[in-house]
Amino acid sequence: MKNKKTTVGIIGGTGQMGQFFRKVFEQNGCEVLVSSRNTELKPVDCVKKSDVIIISVPISVTVETIKSLAPYAKKDAVLCDLTSIKKEPCSVMLRHSKCEVIGMHPVFGPGVDSLKGQTIVVCPQRGDKWLKWMLNIFQKGSAKIKITTPEKHDKMMAIIQGLNHFSTLNVAHAMKNIGIDLKETLEFTSPIYKLRIAMVGRILNQDPNLYASLEIDNSENNEVLKAYMESSEKLFEIIKSKDKEKFLKYFTECSEFFGDFREESEKISNHLLNEIVKIEK
């Protein structure tokens, strides 16, 4: 690998995430080939020419894209994907290729300036030659690397993405059903409410197709969301029955679960709230 320039092929490389990683690999001395539906270089030819193959397409078409292209990967190459779900893409990459396989999930949006401080979850599947090469590039960029299995990744994403986006959408939809004027609520609010609503609005300003895939395509979400619904129903019953003792018990259980992170959370949120106040002045 040291004696020749590494060729990286990015399938879906004209998209925002593809373009981000194109810069990352070019900055590390690689020749980067980009292929999509609209490029002159066809995906199959891109795969055949590449040492490192990155599948960077929407979740909804990731599996079919891997199935159609993986057989063309060279035996001494590495096949990777960048999707937010790992079990099925990793399984399909292993079944349909003979090269090394690494599942990857950059846990950030393409709007960031660099890898510095950003988390990349890495799921090594087959081989370690290219894994060391890939990790070296990420480490040089000061990224935070979390190595795990596809199964553990998807379970964690069911919490980090599935549960949180589900509750976020519920907040927005409930407000819509109540018929409240969103802008008017901001006239009554404290900075902490504005911060919460800003995070809701941030999600709603993104591509709904992405969030549909995050909620629907991760098989681990159902169990997590069932637990969420059960907890919501329990809290609703406590409030409806005006049972303060049970409410305090419910609150205490939550507080104990968060443990030491409560103090860190207060420091982080205090900083953000102060920044909101500065912006509004």
**Contact status, residue 107 vs residue 119, Cβ threshold 8 Å:** yes
Quick check: pTM over 0.85?
A: yes
107, burial (CB in 10 Å: exposed 0-12, middle 13-18, buried 19+): middle
Task: Supply φ then ψ for residue 181, to 5 degrees.
Answer: -85, 110
* pLDDT per position as a tens digit, 226-273: 999 999 999 999 999 999 999 999 999 999 999 999 999 999 999 988
CB half-sphere exposure, 111, CA atoms < 13 A:
2
pLDDT category at 281 given cuts 50, 70, 90 is low
Residues above pLDDT 90, as percent of the chain:
86
Q: CA 21, CA 269: separation in Å to the nearest integer?
A: 31
Determine the Cα–Cα distance for residues 121 and 81; give it in Å rounded to an integer.
11
Whether the per-residue pLDDT at 1 is higher than 70: the answer is no
Q: What number is the average pLDDT over the span 132-148?
A: 97
Q: Is the pLDDT of residue 212 over 70?
A: yes
Mean pLDDT, residues 217-233 taken together: 97
What confidence score (pLDDT) does residue 71 get? 98
The pLDDT value recorded for residue 110 is: 82
Please report the pLDDT score of residue 257 as a whole number: 97
Residues 107-134, mean pLDDT to the nearest whole number: 94
DSSP of 120-155? EEEEEEE-SHHHHHHHHHHHHTT-EEEE--HHHHHH
Sorted by sequence, the CB contacts under 8 Å of residue 216 that are 6+ apart come out as: none
Tens of pLDDT, residue by residue over 78-89, are: 999 999 999 999
Residue with tokens 């379970």: 155
Q: What are the tens digits of pLDDT across the range 4-28?
A: 799 999 999 888 999 999 999 999 9
Give residues with Cβ within 8 angstroms of 118, minimum separation 6: 106, 107, 108, 112, 143, 144
CATH of domain 7-148: 3.40.50.720
Contact 83, 89 (CB under 8 A): yes
Distance between CA 100 and CA 94 in Å, rounded? 8
**Helix, strand, or coil (residue 30):** coil
CA distance 215 to 230: 18
Residue 103 DSSP class: E
Q: Which CATH class is domain 152-280?
A: mainly alpha
Mean confidence (pLDDT) of the chain:
94
Confidence of residue 3 (pLDDT cuts 50, 70, 90): low
What 3-state DSSP class applies to 64? Answer: helix
Which of 224, 65, 99 has the alpha carbon at shortest distance from 154? 224
Q: Where are the domains of the chain?
A: 7-148, 152-280
Q: How far apart are CA 9 and CA 51, in angstroms?
A: 8
Q: Determine the Cα–Cα distance for residues 77 and 74; give it in Å rounded to an integer.
A: 5
